C-alpha cells in the first residue's frame, strides 16, 4: 500500500494486524467475515460507482480550485446573517483545535468540565443580553428555534386554553421569510394555525395561544412592543421574540418588557457565515418553562465531595427517555459554535460587545444621513444596524444593483423598489465610501467623501438599555490575547477528546476527523459567504453540492438527496414530512401511523410526533430482532392509516437483522413507506444500502459516518436521501430557489450547514469507492474483534444469525449488580481513571454499555481499551470475592479526582496507586480529572444555568452553612 494513500491514514489497523484480528476471531478472510455478518440477500453485487480515492495532496489542490470559484463580496444583506470577525485566538485554538472539535456531547461530565464551562459562558451571555431567566446550550438555527418557541408556548398553554383547543399563534409579518417558512412547516402537521399580520392590529381572540414577533423586525425597525405584550398577557397568551443578540447590548432586552421566550442566532458573535451555517441559535425563557425547554441545558452542581462541578441538567427530559412524549427532538445541536460565540463574548467583554454594536449603529446612522442627502428617503425611524431606502428621483434598484456588484458588494432588495443595508462588525471607512459611491452614481450626483466614522446614536432614548450586563468575572479577566489563550487552554485540558484516546460510543461513530478534511473550513472562500447572495457567487459551493449529492445518492442507493437538515433528528423530521406530503398528494391524508421498534433511538418517536404521526411500538424478540409477527399484525391492523415504519439498520442492537427485506415488504404491502434511520450507515457503505434493502427515505448523520466532527455536541448535518417517487416533496426555500417545490423549508439556510460539507466531500473523494468499502469492513472487523475479546468477561447481548456483530455491540453489565452492586455507571466512571471516555450508557438497553470502535482505531489502541475493561472486570471480581469492600471500592468511588489522589488524607481501603494508575501505561499519558462524580439530583433541584449569578452564590453559601453546622 503506497504511503500517500489516504485510506492507510484513515484506517487504524495495519495490514498484518487485520490478518491477526481475523485469525483471532476465527474468520478466514475479510470477505468471509462480511458474509457471516451481513445477510447475503442485501449485499451489493457491484462496487460503488464512485471515483477512486485520491491522495491528500491531490485533494488539497482540488478543494483549493473549488474554493477559488466562490466569490467573497462585501455583503450587506443581513436577514439573520452578518459578516463578523472571528478573533484569531479563537479561530486557531478552538475552531481549528481537535480537542474542541473532536469531543463528544458532555454526557460524561467529569471529563468534560472544559466545554461545560465554555457552554455555561454561552448561556450566561444569552441570559444577560436577553434579560431572561433560563436558557440552553444552543439550538440548530434561528428559524427552527422559532418553531421550538411556538411548540413551547403550545405545550405550556394554561389548562383551560388547552381544553378549549386554542391553536392559533399570531405572527408579525415582519419576521425573516426563512423563519416564516419553517414555522409553516412545523405548524401544519400539528394543527397549529399561523395568523400573519401587522402586530399593531393584533387582537387576542379566543383560539390564540401565543404571539411571535421580531426585534428589530425584518425591515430593520426597532418597535416598542410593550402594549402588545400587555394585550397578549391579559388573555394568557405568551409572547416569543426573535432578537438580534448583538443589538441587545444597546436596546432594552425583551426580558425587561415582558417576553416569555427570546430566540435568535449567535452567528455574529464571531462565527463565519459559511454560506448558511453551522451557527448556534439561542433560546431563552422564563424559569417556569424549564421542563419544556428544548435542547441541552448546562447547569451547576457539586461533585461527590461538595466541590462545584458542571453537568448537563434535567437529563430526565432527554428525548431518549421521553420518546413519543418528548416535546422536541433536538439531540445534536451546535455546541462548537456556541463555544466559539461564548469565547467571543469572553474576549470582548461587555464593553467590547457594546463598542462593536455602537460602531455598527454609528455607521448605519451616518449612512442613513449621507444617503438621504443624495435624495433617497430612509424609512426606518429607529434602527440598530439596518437602513432601508426608497429611491431618489433618478435612481433605480437596477442601477444600484449593477453598481454595487461592480464594486463587489451585495445589498438587499425589496419588491417595491426599496433597498436595504445591514452594517456589520467588519464595515470600515473604505466600505462606507464605496457604498456612498453606489448610491451617488445611481442618483447621478457626486458622492461626499467621508473621512472618519463618528460614533453617534440615533435610537430614541426610550428604546435604549439601561443598566449593566455581563458583569461576571469571566467577562473581565481575559482581554489580552495571552490571557485568552491560556483560558482556552485551561478549559481544553479538562476534556477528553479523540486526541487522548478512543471514544467508543456506540451509535455515535467517533472516527477520525482528518486534518486535510478540516483545513478548508478555515478559508474565507467557504466562511465568508452569505447564504442569500446571488448563486453565481457561490459557484464553488454549488459544484461541491452537486457532486456530494450524487455521491451520497450512490452510497445510499437513492435517486436524490437534500442537504438542508441540520442534524440527524432534523433529517428524520424532514424525511417524515416528505412521506406525509407524498401520502397527501395521493389523497391519503388519513395515513398517520408510524410503526417504530422498541429499540429505536428516542428521536424517532419524537420526530414522528412532530410530524403529526401517531406512534405504534413494535416489540423485539429475545434475540434483539424486530418481532416480525408483531410487525405484520400491526401493519395489517393499521393498513388503512399506516404512514411509515422507522427502522435503524443495522439495528441499535448492533446486528444486521436478516428479516429486514421482509419487514420492508410488509410495510409496503400495507400502504406504508419505509424510513431508515441512517445513524448506523458506517456498517453499510459499500456493502449494502438503504435503497437496495427497500427503504424509501433515509437520513445520514454526516457527523457520524461521514467524518464531520462532533464538536462537543454539534454541529451536525442530516441530509436525506429519497427514492424517485419522493423527489417532488423535498424541502424548498423561500429566499433562494434551491430547485425544489416540495414541503416548505425545514431549516433557515437553503443548503443547511454548507460550510462543513467540504469535510464529507473530502472524506468521500480521498477514500473513493474502495476506501469507503474498506472502511466499513474494518469497522465491522474491529467491532467483532472487541466483541471476541470481551465476550467472556462481560457477555455480548446480541449477535446475528452467524454469531457476528455489525459495527458495534452491547456489553452486558446487568449481572454484576446483584452480586456486587456494581452498575454500568460505575464501570463508565472507572474508565475515566484509565483515561477513557465511557461507551454509550444504557442505550438502547438499560444496564448495558454499547461499544463502537470505528475503523480508525488501531489494534494497539483497542488492546489498551480491552485491558482497561478486563482490569475493571477483575476489580469487580475482587468485590464479588470479598477482597474489596462493597461500598468503598475503586468502582464506586470512581472517578478519582486529582485533589483526592494528592490529599494528605486518604481514607480508602485501597491505595492511591490503584486509584490513579491501575495500569502501568497510564503513567505515560495520565488524564487528570478535576472533579469527583457529579451529583445530578442536587443540580436539578437547584437549577442554575449561568455563571456567577446571585442565585449561585446563595446556594453555595447555604451549602457552606449546612457543611459548617454538621461539622
Chain positions contacting ligand PLP, by CB under 6 A: 331-332, 507, 567-569, 601, 603, 648, 652, 677, 679, 701, 716, 718
Cβ closest to ligand PLP, residue 265 vs residue 607: 607
Least CB distance to ligand PLP at residue 598 (A):
13
What contacts 699, CB < 8 A, 6 or more positions away?
A: 565, 568, 571, 572, 574, 575, 677, 678, 718, 719, 720, 721
Least CB distance to ligand PLP at residue 564 (A):
14
Half-sphere exposure of 339 (CA within 13 A, CB side): 34
Least CB distance to ligand PLP at residue 548 (A):
18
> What angle separates helix 603-610 from helix 568-585, to the nearest 10 degrees?
40
Asked whether 694 and 700 are in contact (CB, 8 A), the reply is: no
Cβ closest to ligand PLP, residue 488 vs residue 717: 717
Least CB distance to ligand PLP at residue 891 (A):
27
Give the end-to-end CA distance of the chain in Å, rounded to a whole number.
67
Cβ closest to ligand PLP, residue 228 vs residue 702: 702
Instruction: Please state whether 87 falls in left (phi above 0), alpha (psi between -120 and 50) or beta.
Output: beta
Cβ closest to ligand PLP, residue 331 vs residue 553: 331
Cβ closest to ligand PLP, residue 75 vs residue 144: 144
Cβ closest to ligand PLP, residue 497 vs residue 607: 607
Cβ closest to ligand PLP, residue 240 vs residue 563: 563
Q: Three cell numbers at 471?
A: 458583569
Q: What is the full DSSP assignment across 193-239?
A: EEEEE-GGG----TTEEEEEEEES-TTSB----HHHHHHHHHTT-EE
How far apart are alpha carbons 63 and 767 in whole angstroms? 15
Least CB distance to ligand PLP at residue 704 (A):
6
Least CB distance to ligand PLP at residue 332 (A):
3
Least CB distance to ligand PLP at residue 555 (A):
18
Asked whether 120 and 310 are in contact (CB, 8 A), the reply is: yes
Cβ closest to ligand PLP, residue 357 vs residue 505: 505
How far apart are alpha carbons 181 and 191 in whole angstroms? 16
Least CB distance to ligand PLP at residue 596 (A):
11
How far apart are alpha carbons 558 and 567 in whole angstroms? 19
431 closest CA partner among 29, 740, 75: 75
Least CB distance to ligand PLP at residue 102 (A):
16
How far apart are alpha carbons 217 and 176 in whole angstroms? 8
Q: Sheet holding 642-648: strands in order across?
A: 560-562, 720-722, 697-700, 673-678, 642-648, 593-597, 614-618
Chain centre distance of CA 582: 28
Least CB distance to ligand PLP at residue 605 (A):
11
How far apart are alpha carbons 932 and 894 in whole angstroms? 7
Specify the DSSP element, H or E, that contains 84: none
Q: What is the 3-state secondary structure (H, E, C) of 383-448?
A: ECCEEEEECCCCCCHHHHHHHHHHCCEECEECCCCEEEEECCCCCCHHHHHHHHHHHHHHCCCCCC
Cβ closest to ligand PLP, residue 104 vs residue 532: 104
Least CB distance to ligand PLP at residue 653 (A):
11
Chain centre distance of CA 231: 36
Which residue's C-alpha cell is 468503598? 888
Cβ closest to ligand PLP, residue 497 vs residue 509: 509
Cβ closest to ligand PLP, residue 360 vs residue 498: 498
Least CB distance to ligand PLP at residue 843 (A):
9
Chain centre distance of CA 198: 33
Residue with CB nearest ligand PLP? Answer: 568
How far apart are alpha carbons 701 and 511 in whole angstroms? 13
Cβ closest to ligand PLP, residue 788 vs residue 807: 807
Cβ closest to ligand PLP, residue 716 vs residue 742: 716
Least CB distance to ligand PLP at residue 112 (A):
17
Which residue's C-alpha cell is 478559508? 523
Amino acid at each position: 500500500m503506497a504511503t500517500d494513500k489516504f485510506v492507510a491514514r484513515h484506517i487504524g489497523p495495519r495490514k498484518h494486524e487485520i490478518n491477526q484480528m481475523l485469525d483471532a476471531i476465527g474468520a478466514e478472510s475479510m470477505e468471509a467475515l462480511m458474509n457471516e455478518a451481513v445477510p447475503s440477500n442485501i449485499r451489493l453485487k457491484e462496487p460503488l460507482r464512485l471515483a477512486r480515492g485520491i491522495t491528500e495532496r491531490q485533494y488539497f489542490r482540488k478543494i483549493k480550485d473549488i474554493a477559488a470559484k466562490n466569490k467573497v463580496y462585501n455583503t450587506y444583506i443581513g436577514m439573520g446573517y452578518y459578516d463578523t470577525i472571528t478573533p484569531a485566538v479563537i479561530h486557531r485554538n478552538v475552531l481549528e483545535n481537535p480537542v474542541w472539535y473532536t469531543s463528544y456531547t458532555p454526557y460524561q461530565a467529569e471529563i468534560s468540565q472544559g466545554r461545560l464551562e465554555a457552554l455555561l459562558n454561552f448561556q450566561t451571555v444569552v441570559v444577560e443580553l436577553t434579560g431572561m431567566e433560563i436558557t440552553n446550550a444552543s439550538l440548530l438555527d434561528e428559524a427552527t428555534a422559532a418553531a421550538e418557541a411556538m411548540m413551547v408556548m403550545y405545550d405550556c398553554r394554561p389548562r383551560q386554553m388547552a381544553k378549549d383547543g386554542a391553536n392559533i399563534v399570531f405572527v408579525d409579518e415582519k419576521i425573516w421569510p426563512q423563519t416564516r417558512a419553517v414555522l409553516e412547516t412545523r405548524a401544519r402537521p400539528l394543527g397549529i394555525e399561523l395568523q400573519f399580520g401587522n402586530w399593531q392590529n393584533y387582537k387576542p381572540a379566543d383560539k390564540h395561544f401565543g404571539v411571535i414577533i421580531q426585534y428589530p423586525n425584518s425591515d430593520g425597525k426597532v418597535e416598542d412592543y410593550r402594549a402588545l405584550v400587555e394585550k397578549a398577557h391579559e388573555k394568557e397568551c405568551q409572547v416569543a421574540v426573535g432578537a438580534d443578540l448583538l443589538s441587545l447590548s444597546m436596546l432594552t432586552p425583551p426580558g425587561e418588557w415582558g417576553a416569555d421566550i427570546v430566540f435568535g442566532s449567535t452567528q455574529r458573535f464571531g462565527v463565519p457565515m459559511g454560506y448558511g451555517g453551522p451557527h448556534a441559535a439561542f433560546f431563552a425563557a422564563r424559569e417556569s418553562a424549564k421542563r419544556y425547554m428544548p435542547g441541552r441545558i448546562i447547569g451547576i452542581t457539586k461533585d461527590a465531595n461538595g466541590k462545584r462541578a458542571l453537568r448537563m441538567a434535567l437529563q430526565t427530559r432527554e428525548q431518549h427517555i421521553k420518546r413519543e412524549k418528548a416535546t422536541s427532538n433536538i439531540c445534536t445541536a451546535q455546541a462548537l459554535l456556541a463555544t466559539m460565540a461564548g469565547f467571543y463574548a469572553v474576549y470582548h467583554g461587555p464593553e467590547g460587545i457594546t463598542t462593536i454594536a455602537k460602531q455598527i449603529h454609528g455607521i448605519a446612522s451616518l449612512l442613513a444621513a449621507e444617503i438621504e442627502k443624495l435624495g433617497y428617503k430612509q424609512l426606518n425611524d429607529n434602527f440598530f444596524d439596518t437602513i432601508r431606502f426608497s429611491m431618489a428621483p433618478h435612481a433605480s434598484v437596477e442601477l444600484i444593483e449593477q453598481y454595487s456588484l461592480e464594486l463587489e458588494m451585495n445589498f438587499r432588495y425589496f419588491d417595491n423598489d426599496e433597498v436595504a443595508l445591514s452594517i456589520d462588525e467588519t464595515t470600515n471607512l473604505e466600505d462606507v465610501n464605496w457604498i456612498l459611491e453606489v448610491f451617488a452614481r445611481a442618483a447621478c450626483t457626486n458622492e461626499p467623501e467621508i473621512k472618519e466614522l463618528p460614533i453617534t446614536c440615533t435610537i430614541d432614548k426610550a428604546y435604549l438599555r439601561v443598566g449593566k450586563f455581563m458583569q461576571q468575572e469571566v467577562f473581565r479577566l481575559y482581554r489580552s490575547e495571552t490571557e485568552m489563550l491560556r483560558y482556552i487552554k485551561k478549559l481544553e485540558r479538562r476534556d477528553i477528546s479523540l486526541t487522548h484516546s478512543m471514544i467508543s460510543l456506540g451509535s455515535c461513530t467517533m472516527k477520525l476527523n482528518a486534518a486535510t478534511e478540516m483545513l478548508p473550513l478555515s478559508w474565507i472562500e467557504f466562511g465568508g459567504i452569505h447564504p442569500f447572495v446571488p448563486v453565481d457567487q457561490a459557484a464553488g459551493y454549488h459544484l461541491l453540492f452537486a457532486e456530494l449529492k450524487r455521491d451520497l445518492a450512490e452510497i445510499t442507493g437513492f435517486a436524490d438527496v437534500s442537504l438542508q437538515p441540520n442534524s440527524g433528528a432534523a433529517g428524520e423530521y424532514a424525511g417524515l414530512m416528505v412521506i406525509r406530503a407524498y401520502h397527501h398528494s395521493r389523497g391519503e391524508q388519513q395515513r398517520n401511523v408510524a410503526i417504530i421498534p422498541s429499540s429505536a433511538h428516542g428521536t424517532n418517536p419524537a420526530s414522528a410526533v412532530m410530524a403529526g404521526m401517531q406512534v405504534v411500538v413494535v416489540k423485539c424478540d429475545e434475540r434483539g430482532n424486530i418481532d416480525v409477527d408483531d410487525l405484520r399484525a400491526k401493519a395489517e391492523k393499521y393498513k388503512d392509516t399506516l404512514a411509515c415504519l422507522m427502522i435503524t439498520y443495522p439495528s441499535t442492537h448492533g446486528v444486521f437483522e436478516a428479516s429486514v427485506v421482509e419487514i420492508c415488504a410488509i410495510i409496503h404491502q400495507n400502504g406504508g413507506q419505509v424510513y431508515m434511520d441512517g445513524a448506523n450507515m458506517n456498517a453499510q457503505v459499500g456493502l449494502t444500502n438503504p435503497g437496495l434493502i427497500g427503504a424509501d427515505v433515509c437520513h445520514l448523520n454526516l457527523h457520524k459516518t461521514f467524518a464531520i466532527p462532533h464538536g462537543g455536541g454539534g454541529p451536525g448535518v442530516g441530509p436525506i436521501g429519497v427514492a424517485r417517487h419522493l423527489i417532488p416533496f423535498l424541502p424548498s426555500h423561500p429566499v433562494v430557489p434551491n430547485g425544489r417545490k416540495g414541503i416548505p423549508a425545514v431549516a433557515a439556510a437553503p443548503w443547511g450547514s454548507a460550510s462543513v460539507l467540504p469535510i464529507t466531500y473530502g472524506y468521500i473523494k480521498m477514500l473513493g469507492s474502495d476506501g469507503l468499502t474498506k472502511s466499513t469492513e474494518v469497522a465491522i472487523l474491529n467491532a467483532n474483534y472487541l466483541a471476541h475479546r470481551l465476550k467472556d468477561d462481560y457477555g455480548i447481548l446480541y449477535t446475528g444469525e452467524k454469531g457476528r456483530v455489525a459495527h458495534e455491540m452491547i456489553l452486558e453489565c446487568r449481572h454484576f449488580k446483584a452480586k456486587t452492586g456494581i452498575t454500568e455507571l460505575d464501570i463508565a466512571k472507572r474508565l475515566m481513571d484509565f483515561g477513557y471516555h465511557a461507551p454509550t450508557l444504557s442505550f438502547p438497553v438499560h444496564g448495558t454499555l454499547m461499544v463502537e470502535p470505528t475503523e480508525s482505531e488501531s489494534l494497539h489502541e483497542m488492546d489498551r481499551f480491552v485491558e482497561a475493561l478486563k482490569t475493571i472486570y477483575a476489580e469487580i471480581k475482587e468485590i464479588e470475592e470479598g477482597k474489596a469492600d462493597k461500598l468503598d471500592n475503586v468502582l464506586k468511588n470512581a472517578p478519582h479526582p486529582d485533589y483526592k489522589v494528592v490529599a494528605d488524607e486518604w481514607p480508602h481501603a485501597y491505595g492511591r496507586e490503584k486509584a490513579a494508575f491501575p495500569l502501568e501505561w497510564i503513567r505515560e499519558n495520565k488524564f487528570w480529572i478535576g472533579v469527583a462524580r457529579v451529583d445530578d439530583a442536587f443540580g436539578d433541584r437547584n437549577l442554575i444555568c449561568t455563571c456567577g449569578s446571585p442565585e449561585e452564590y446563595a446556594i453555595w453559601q447555604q451549602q457552606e452553612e449546612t457543611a459548617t453546622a454538621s461539622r
